[in-house]
Structure 1
Amino acid sequence: MLRIAFLSVLYSGKIPVAPGTWGSLVSVFLGLPFLYFSQETLLLLAILVGGIAVREINAYERAGGLHDDKSIVIDELVGVWIAMSFINLKVLSMYESITAVALSFVFFRIFDIWKPSFIGKIDREVKGGLGVVGDDALAGFVAGLCVMIVFAAWDYYAKAWIL
């Protein structure tokens, strides 16, 4: 019972329509207090949860569960937390913070669904819990980079308009 609550991120993965999106959204709200404390804390928690998730997914699959079952969304939590860990709330306004968190969610979902390049290769070729969590962790990393690029471009063009 506890394993299922963990793997489904408090049962959000049990929602029949778009469980990955719901799991990611719930994970954003679960991660916000840690992000407010510090980026590093959120990243370290994502790594810790990711390691536990690999072990628990392997146990789930050994017990007869489906590989990458749609109700397992703990990998989405790891990915979206990694994406959010690129955000430094201490230097952003409230509007920028909300925008950055929303962009983290959107970019993560894009890369998690699309699975371009190495993200898709990990998803296809790496078995067990490491494959389930690995592609989402990489998608989160790429999503975080995209958020940084958007904000750098915004900052560059905003300064160009002022000058």
Structure 2
Amino acid sequence: MSTVNLSFKDLIRDPRLLLAFGFGSGLSPKAPGTFGTIAALPFVFLLQASSIYTYLAVLLIGFVVGVYLCEHASKVMGVHDHGGIVWDEFIGMWLAMLAVPLGWQWLLAGFVLFRIFDIAKPWPIGWLDKKVSGGFGIMIDDVLAGLYALLILQLAAFYLR
């Protein structure tokens, strides 16, 4: 397996990479983070249909497992936070949509807000992205981007009700 370019066959051989690369969405040659976020969207519908406790449990387990998955993928790739590692986008997007009203408008708003915060990396996201390494470092900036998006969505939901 190459440490620079992975194929879908490589992902199939190692389920940890398959998850870290968002079921293959991270293999996109352009904007893998955006494609990873898009791949996370169908799961939002499943999570929103569950209880808040199940949703929170999936987020927590997904984060903990994600630290391991991202660390593994990073070592295989030989690069910290390779663009194709998108499990962190899954968790960030899921977090952004926690207890948000149902509807395509909310999903679109959550997607756009999460991507803006993930790309722009306002403080302390950018600082953490540069200072924290390993699987936790890969995950934490997207968790904060998801929290920022969640805060805005919750405020909008409160004031629009």
TM-score (norm 2): 0.85
| 1:88 Cα deviation after fit | 4.3
SS in 1 for 2:124: helix
Q: Do the aligned partners of 1:39 and 1:87 also contact (CA within 8 Å) in 2?
A: no
More helix by share: 1
| 1:120 Cα deviation after fit | 1.0
In structure 1, runs of 5+ residues without a counterpart are: 90-96, 156-163
Pair 1:52 & 2:58 matched: no
Aligned length: 148
Please give the alpha-carbon distance, in whole angstroms, between the structure 1 residues aligned to 2:96 and 2:148: 7
Q: Do the aligned partners of 1:80 and 1:105 also contact (CA within 8 Å) in 2?
A: yes
Match of 1:123 in 2: 129
Counterpart residue type for residue 137 of structure 1 = V
Please give the alpha-carbon distance, in whole angstroms, between the structure 2 residues aligned to 1:144 and 1:52: 22
Counterpart residue type for residue 82 of structure 1 = L
Greater alpha carbon shift after TM alignment, 57-66 vs 4-13: 57-66
| 1:74 Cα deviation after fit | 0.2
Counterpart residue type for residue 111 of structure 2 = F
For 1:23-76, what per-residue CA distance to the aligned partner results, in whole angstroms no more than 9, with x for missing partners? 001101122112112343223212211111111222333445311011100000
Query: Considering only aligned residues, what root-mean-square deviation do their CA atoms show, in Å?
Result: 1.5
Match of 2:93 in 1: 80
How much identity, in percent, do the aligned residues show?
Answer: 33
Q: Please say which structure displays the higher CA radius of gyration.
A: 1
TM-score (norm 1): 0.84
Please give the alpha-carbon distance, in whole angstroms, between the structure 2 residues aligned to 1:135 and 1:118: 8
Kindly report which structure 2 residues correspond to 1:8-23, keeping only aligned pairs within 5 A, or say none: 8-23=21-36
In structure 1, which of residues 114, 118, 122 is the aligned counterpart of residue 120 of structure 2?
114
Pair 1:140 & 2:146 matched: yes
Going from structure 1 to structure 2, the CA distance change for 1:12 and 1:63 (only over 3 Å counts) comes to closer
| 1:129 Cα deviation after fit | 0.7
SS in 2 for 1:68: coil
